[in-house]
Chain A
């Protein structure tokens, strides 16, 4: 047990220093946060852009604004367009607008400015106009006129109530979560595989297995790199929380909520999915001779895992259909499928339970079979065994195979 722990520590400490890991774990969230900060700053800037223009003049030829109800502080009325023009030229005001006598019929307003008219200013004028146009109406009617649409979406399946602009968030949260899950589990199980291949090709393996048992080595690797994957998840979740709190004022971000139940189920599926994937990768790494070849095998599993992502439309249009149900139950696709479904709608309890049971069972079986192949193939160099031979190994667990270098089964 002590030696397994040494392997755990070694795998964790050496792989955490990899540049690719540091980039994936810290670089990506930092870049995301910086991007958010920039977007945030730009938008804040836009909001305050009315200040850039200073005082705004207006000439009311239509009589709509004669009562000056709720006049914003930065607006100043002028009697004639000429007077406003003169002040604009001498930079007393930044812009002015004219409500022509035909305003009530056409709704046209002419704005004059030496620079762009920001959206914020238009909003301000809109509100000012509404308040004056609605004079004499019931106060609540005026209130509704000012803000006719105040949305709240209730997703029927989950009973989750989402804020006004959360429609985007409904889709974004599970997709981001799935992406994080896939990157974390695939990078770490990929490290595991290339680690095994390196130890095999460099023959460090022979030294290792005269110090510890193959099973201790395998467990140490799976646990150590699993801890690394969890570290990555935690860093990203912290990064996500910071991003969300930074972007709280942004409409499209404020809708994104990562519901706690999705987080818990997500972490459970991450652990099981990682356990399954890394067991497969350890077996592949032990059997396959070269780094390059092992990457091809890893690619096959990566593609199978992202199938739910490719078929994402089915999850939105037909969440109870046969395709989605299959993807939810099939162990290699279930981690991604379940997280997507948790975000989009509800999963029937029986599906969630059977999916978990299937994944758990498969992961245990694959880990067991992989441990046998791992042990058997550790010292096998050169030739790659066929599927039939591998099945024989899983069933009978022979001792280690050797195509001993320069010796043995020539």
Chain B
């Protein structure tokens, strides 16, 4: 199922081009990450998908067509800077926002309680939102977003302000949604989460598409012809190894660039046969998304 189809959308504010000719798709059953530095056009894109803003040009289809009141009820959206009614009891807020998404009052109440229990907040159902800690409020906001069991979940920075335990809880919930065939779109700066969770990603910078594809593909695309080893030994004695970069962080890690025709496996085989070399770790020098992100963004700046 195609949850979002974006074709060649552009949006300008005056002379500023916030989004420029963006095209991508999101499908049910995947976690899709939207990456990009501040001001790249992520929120503008999300708002166009949600029909809050109209694109200057291009087409957007959501859950199989133009956004209607009926499809709005199948979307769960959590904006980045978020809050809730402060002086209203938690359960009441959840039920109100749930019924606005088409749930009956009884159904909203039932689901809200079940989420509160799942998120360890059942004792706080009658408390006012303002009496909850920030982390608790975040969890309530998350529960509100998914209360109506949406087919498309769009979350801006899902993990900001959450401690590691709660991050794990929310992450598991998002993965469960994905496994049940829902489309999850998250816009985030936390690359580690993207690496762990996302199937595909879209990276935009200055309103333009920079990277688009599966996380694995993109990382391979940016992979260096090198291996990263940690251990002792004079790596230059290995055949097929060209330039060597010793890491500067004090650990005995080195980046070994491989000559054409040399495979990582053959290097590992050589090390295994030699007594004067010991390794603690050996890995392909696949860059982290973080490195790729920085590379793309700073590369853009250099060109500009």
A404–B44 touching, CB < 8 Å? yes
A14–B92 touching, CB < 8 Å? yes
**At the interface, yes or no: B163 with Cβ under 8 Å from chain A?**
no
B81–A408 touching, CB < 8 Å? no
Residues on A with beta carbons closer than 8 Å to the beta carbon of B92? 14
A353 to B145, CA, bound (A): 51
A207–B47 touching, CB < 8 Å? no
Within 8 A of B (CB), among A352-394: 379
The 9 closest A-B pairs by CB, nearest first: A202-B83, A407-B43, A409-B13, A211-B100, A206-B79, A404-B43, A410-B39, A210-B77, A406-B38
**At the interface, yes or no: B96 with Cβ under 8 Å from chain A?**
yes
Interface string of B20-49 (1 = CB under 8 A from A): 000000000000000000111111100100
Given A14-B92, A211-B100, does the pair A400, B52 have CB atoms closer than 8 Å? yes
30 residue pairs bridging A and B, Cβ less than 8 Å apart:
A3-B100, A6-B99, A14-B92, A198-B85, A202-B83, A202-B86, A204-B83, A206-B52, A206-B77, A206-B82, A207-B82, A208-B97, A210-B72, A211-B73, A399-B53, A399-B54, A400-B52, A402-B43, A402-B44, A405-B80, A405-B81, A406-B38, A406-B80, A407-B41, A407-B42, A407-B44, A408-B13, A409-B13, A409-B16, A409-B18
Given A402-B47, A404-B47, A405-B80, does the pair A207, B40 have CB atoms closer than 8 Å? no
Name the distance in Å between A402's Cβ and chain B's nearest Cβ: 7
**At the interface, yes or no: A203 with Cβ under 8 Å from chain B?**
yes
**At the interface, yes or no: A295 with Cβ under 8 Å from chain B?**
no
Name the distance in Å between A98's Cβ and chain B's nearest Cβ: 71
Q: Number of A-B pairs whose CB atoms are under 8 Å?
A: 92
**At the interface, yes or no: B174 with Cβ under 8 Å from chain A?**
no
A33 to B144, CA, bound (A): 45
Query: Which of A198, A212, A404 has the most B CB atoms < 10 Å from its CB?
Result: A404
Within 8 A of A (CB), among B162-177: none
A7 to B99, CA, bound (A): 10
A31 to B66, CA, bound (A): 57
**At the interface, yes or no: B211 with Cβ under 8 Å from chain A?**
no
Size of chain A's interface in residues, with CB distance under 8 A? Answer: 30
Name the distance in Å between A382's Cβ and chain B's nearest Cβ: 12
Given A402-B47, A404-B44, does the pair A201, B97 have CB atoms closer than 8 Å? no
Q: Which residue of A lies closest to B154 (CB)?
A: A210
Q: Which residue of B lies closest to A13 (CB)?
A: B92
Q: Which of these, B38, B40, B54, B72, contacts A211 with CB under 8 Å? A: B72
**At the interface, yes or no: A10 with Cβ under 8 Å from chain B?**
yes
Name the distance in Å between B261's Cβ and chain A's nearest Cβ: 47
Residues on B with beta carbons closer than 8 Å to the beta carbon of A206? 52, 77, 79, 82
B81–A204 touching, CB < 8 Å? no
Residues on B with beta carbons closer than 8 Å to the beta carbon of A204? 83-85, 97
Query: Which of A3, A206, A208, A407 has the most B CB atoms < 10 Å from its CB?
Result: A407
**At the interface, yes or no: B9 with Cβ under 8 Å from chain A?**
no
Q: Which residue of B lies closest to A408 (CB)?
A: B44
Residues on B with beta carbons closer than 8 Å to the beta carbon of A199? 85
Interface string of B47-81 (1 = CB under 8 A from A): 10010111000000000000001001101011111
A14 to B16, CA, bound (A): 42
A198 to B87, CA, bound (A): 10
**At the interface, yes or no: B228 with Cβ under 8 Å from chain A?**
no
A409 to B82, CA, bound (A): 20
Interface string of B108-125 (1 = CB under 8 A from A): 000000000000000000
B43–A10 touching, CB < 8 Å? no
**At the interface, yes or no: A209 with Cβ under 8 Å from chain B?**
yes
A408–B77 touching, CB < 8 Å? no
B41–A207 touching, CB < 8 Å? no
A410 to B15, CA, bound (A): 11
**At the interface, yes or no: B88 with Cβ under 8 Å from chain A?**
yes
Size bin of chain B's contact surface: 35 or more
Q: Which residue of A lies closest to B82 (CB)?
A: A203
Name the distance in Å between B45's Cβ and chain A's nearest Cβ: 9
Q: Which residue of A lies closest to B88 (CB)?
A: A14
Q: Which residue of B lies closest to A410 (CB)?
A: B39
A108 to B67, CA, bound (A): 96
Q: Which residue of A lies closest to B157 (CB)?
A: A406
B53–A402 touching, CB < 8 Å? yes
A209 to B67, CA, bound (A): 13
Interface string of A1-40 (1 = CB under 8 A from B): 0010011001000100000000000000000000000000
Query: Which of B38, B52, B75 has the most A CB atoms < 10 Å from its CB?
Result: B52
Given A202-B85, A202-B86, does the pair A209, B52 have CB atoms closer than 8 Å? yes
Residues on A with beta carbons closer than 8 Å to the beta carbon of B145? 207
Given A6-B99, A6-B100, A402-B47, does the pair A203, B77 have CB atoms closer than 8 Å? no
Residues on A with beta carbons closer than 8 Å to the beta carbon of B139? none
A399 to B41, CA, bound (A): 18
Residues on B with beta carbons closer than 8 Å to the beta carbon of A400? 52-53
Residues on A with beta carbons closer than 8 Å to the beta carbon of B99? 6
Within 8 A of B (CB), among A208-263: 208-213
Q: Which of these, B43, B78, B85, contacts A408 with CB under 8 Å? A: B43
Query: Which of B16, B77, B100 has the most A CB atoms < 10 Å from its CB?
Result: B100
**At the interface, yes or no: B200 with Cβ under 8 Å from chain A?**
no
Q: Which residue of B lies closest to A206 (CB)?
A: B79
A409 to B18, CA, bound (A): 7
**At the interface, yes or no: B182 with Cβ under 8 Å from chain A?**
no
Given A399-B54, A402-B47, A402-B53, does the pair A207, B38 have CB atoms closer than 8 Å? no
Q: Which of these, A3, A201, A207, A379, contacts B77 with CB under 8 Å? A: A207
A7 to B41, CA, bound (A): 32
Name the distance in Å between A224's Cβ and chain B's nearest Cβ: 12
Q: Which residue of A lies closest to B148 (CB)?
A: A211
Q: Which of these, B39, B52, B85, B144, contacts A406 with CB under 8 Å? A: B39
Residues on B with beta carbons closer than 8 Å to the beta carbon of A7? 100
Residues on B with beta carbons closer than 8 Å to the beta carbon of A407? 38-44
A213 to B67, CA, bound (A): 12
A44 to B304, CA, bound (A): 91
